[in-house]
Amino acid sequence: MTGFRDEYRRKLISAEEAAGLVKSGMWIDYGAICGFPSLVDAKLAARAPGLRNVKLRAEHSHTQLPGIDPDQEHFIHNSWFLGKVERDYQKNGACSYIPFGLSEGPRMYREWLKDEVDITFIEVTPMDENGNFNFGTAVTRQKAACDVARTVVVEVNEHQPWVYGGYDEVVNISQVDYIVENREYKIPEFPTPETAEEDRIIAGFLAEQIEDGATIQLGVGAIPATVGKLLIKHGLKDLGIHSEMFNDSMMELIEAGVITGKRKSLNPGRVVHCFAAGSEKLYKYMDRNPVLAGFPVDYTNDPYIIAQNKKQIAINSALRVDLRGQVCSESVGTRQISGTGGQLEFTRGAYLSEGGKAFICLHATRRDSDGQLISNIVPTLLLGDMVTVPASDVSHIVTEYGMVNLKGKSVWQRVKALIYIAHPAFRDDLEKAARDANFITKGTVNLDY
C-alpha cells in the first residue's frame, strides 16, 4: 500500500494544473453522467480565452464550457446523449450530437476513436488498498476511454460510491497519469420527474403486463419512474433488474422487497446496470452494496445478453409515434432533445427474451408553445425527426388511452390500432390522413385491426 501512496503523491496535481494540460486543437473526453469532472471543468472554463478549437466529447454533462463560449471560438462541444444543460446549448448551436447505440461505447473508443483522445478527465472514488479507483455511478465506457487516451486524469471525489462490478469497473493507478482531488463539488443529482395523471394511467397498464419473476429495465422519464413506484402497490414478487440505468424507484423496489433477483436466469440476485442517476440517498445506498453489479455498457445493453434473461421487460418513453409505427424519442425535428441511448437495444433484447416484452410509452398529446393541444401520434414524423426505434422493431405502444401490439400487423392494422390509442379529438384527422396516404386502403376501411 505504501508504494501506491507514494505513486499517488507523485501524480497528484491541482485542478488548475490539470486544466493546464489542455492545449488548443486537442480532443478532450469527459466521464459520462455522474463521472463528470466538475472541478476540472470549472478550471478549464476559466482558461477559455487562451484556447482555440478544443474539441470535447461528453454525455449528459453539466459542463460550463459552451455556456461561456456560445460562438464556439474556444470549445467545440459534442455529446453522446444530451441532458438538460446540453439541450439548451444545442438549441443555440453550441453543442453537437453524436449518433450511436449506447452499447457501442467501449468499442467506439477502442476501435474508432483509439487515436482521437488526447486527454480523458473522469470522476472516480478514492483509491483502495490495491491502487484501484472505482468508476462508481458511471461504469458505462469509462475504462475504454482510459485504455486509449494519451493522458488519463482522474478527479477523486469522496462522494462517489464504490460500486461492485462485473468487469471494467475500476482503473488502476498504474494506468493513471495525474490525480486531482475534488473537495468542492458533490456528484450531480437528478431529481425524479414530476408525475402527471397520464403517467399513472400508463403505468397501470404496464404493471398488469409484468409477472412475478420478471426482469425489468426502466428507461429515462416520468413514466418509467412511475411504473417503479406502482409495482410496489401491485404486490409483485421476486422481480429482477437488468437495466442500463439504476435510479431511486429501483432502490425503493429493492427496499420494499419487490426486487430480489432470485428468479433471474442471468446474474441471479444481482442488480445489473451501467450507470445511476438520482438522489444523494441513492448514491449512498449504492456504496459497497453487494446487491449491485455495475458493468460496462457493452454488456448491459447487448441485445443478446439482455435476451438471456427470461421475461425481460423493457419500458421506455417516446416523443412521437407515426401511424406506421416509427418511434422518435430523441429529437423535435432537427433539434436534438436527448439521444438514442439504449432504447433500441433493450427493445430488441426484450423481444428476443423468452417471455419478454418491450413497451414504448408516450402521452397521447402535448401542448405547444402557444398552449395548443397537439397529438403525439402523427401521420408521419416531422421533417428532421430522428427515428429511434424502426417500425420493424416496435411491438407494444402505450398511451393513457390504451395499449396495442404492432408485431405482425400490416400498415392498415397498425394505423387503426394507433388511432384507437390516440386522443379522441385527433382520431378523425388521423384517419383522414391515413386514407389520403393509402395507409388505409379501400378494402380495409371497414375492417377491424
Name the amino acid, one letter, at 373: L
Place of cell 449491485: 292
Look at residue 68 in the predicted model and tell me its pLDDT.
Answer: 86
Cell numbers that stand for 54 in this block:
478544443
What's the CA gap between 448 and 125, in Å, rounded?
58
Q: Which helix (H) or strand (E) holds 86?
A: helix 84-91
Sign of the CA dihedral with 283 first, then 285, 290, and 292 last: negative
Checking 405-410 for CB contacts under 8 A at 24+ apart, the result is: 406/325, 409/449
What's the CA gap between 430 and 425, in Å, rounded?
10
Task: Give CATH superfamily name and number for 197-269+295-444.
Answer: Acetyl-CoA hydrolase/transferase C-terminal domain (3.40.1080.20)
DSSP assignment string, 418-445? HHHTS-HHHHHHHHHHHHHTTSS-GGGT
What's the CA gap between 215 and 213, in Å, rounded?
7
What's the CA gap between 53 and 19, in Å, rounded?
15
Cell numbers that stand for 408 in this block:
405482425
Place of cell 428532421: 384
**Beta strands in 16-156, from DSSP E residues, in sequence order:** 27-30, 54-58, 75-79, 96-97, 119-124, 132-134, 151-156
Place of cell 507523485: 10
What's the CA gap between 308 and 298, in Å, rounded?
15
Look at residue 222 in the predicted model and tell me its pLDDT.
Answer: 75
Same fold, 2-181 and 197-269+295-444: yes
Sign of the CA dihedral with 420 first, then 423, 429, and 433 last: negative
What is the pTM assigned to this prediction?
0.94
What's the CA gap between 347 and 345, in Å, rounded?
5
The answer to whether 332 and 385 have CB atoms below 8 angstroms apart is yes
Spatial CA neighbour of 198 closest among 222, 178, 176, 162 = 222
The answer to whether 265 and 243 have CB atoms below 8 angstroms apart is no
Look at residue 216 in the predicted model and tell me its pLDDT.
Answer: 95
Look at residue 225 in the predicted model and tell me its pLDDT.
Answer: 74
Question: Domain 2-181 adopts which CATH fold?
Answer: Glutaconate Coenzyme A-transferase (3.40.1080)
CA 235 to chain CA mean position, Å:
28
Tell me the domain boundaries of the chain. 2-181, 197-269+295-444
DSSP assignment string, 220-231? SSHHHHHHHHHH
Give the CA dihedral 100, 101, 105, 110, nearest 10 degrees. -70
| Count of beta carbons in the 10 Å neighbourhood of residue 4 | 17
Residue by residue, pLDDT tens for the chain (449 residues) are 678 999 999 999 999 999 999 999 999 999 999 999 999 999 999 999 999 999 999 999 999 888 888 889 999 999 999 988 999 999 889 999 999 999 999 999 999 999 999 999 999 999 999 999 999 999 999 999 999 999 999 999 999 999 999 899 999 999 999 999 999 999 999 888 788 889 889 988 998 899 999 999 987 777 777 877 778 887 888 999 999 999 998 999 999 999 999 999 999 999 999 999 999 999 999 999 999 999 999 999 999 999 999 999 999 999 999 999 999 999 999 999 999 999 999 999 999 999 999 999 999 999 988 899 999 999 999 999 999 999 999 999 999 999 999 999 999 999 999 999 999 999 999 999 999 999 999 899 888 87
What's the CA gap between 166 and 219, in Å, rounded?
21
Look at residue 1 in the predicted model and tell me its pLDDT.
Answer: 66
What's the CA gap between 61 and 80, in Å, rounded?
10
DSSP assignment string, 236-292? --SBEEB-SEE-HHHHHHHHTTSB--TT-SSSTT-EEESEE-S-HHHHHHHTT-TTE
Catalytic site positions: 244
The answer to whether 311 and 211 have CB atoms below 8 angstroms apart is yes
Cell numbers that stand for 375 in this block:
397529438
| C-alpha distances out from residue 164 to 68, 79, 170, 274, 296, Å | 37, 27, 9, 11, 12
Spatial CA neighbour of 415 closest among 402, 430, 399 = 430
First to last CA, the chain: 68
- The pair phi, psi for residue 418, each rounded to 5°, is -70, -35
Spatial CA neighbour of 345 closest among 305, 403, 377, 288 = 305
| C-alpha distances out from residue 446 to 153, 207, 367, 441, 443, Å | 65, 33, 32, 10, 7
**148 SS3 class:** helix
The answer to whether 359 and 314 have CB atoms below 8 angstroms apart is yes
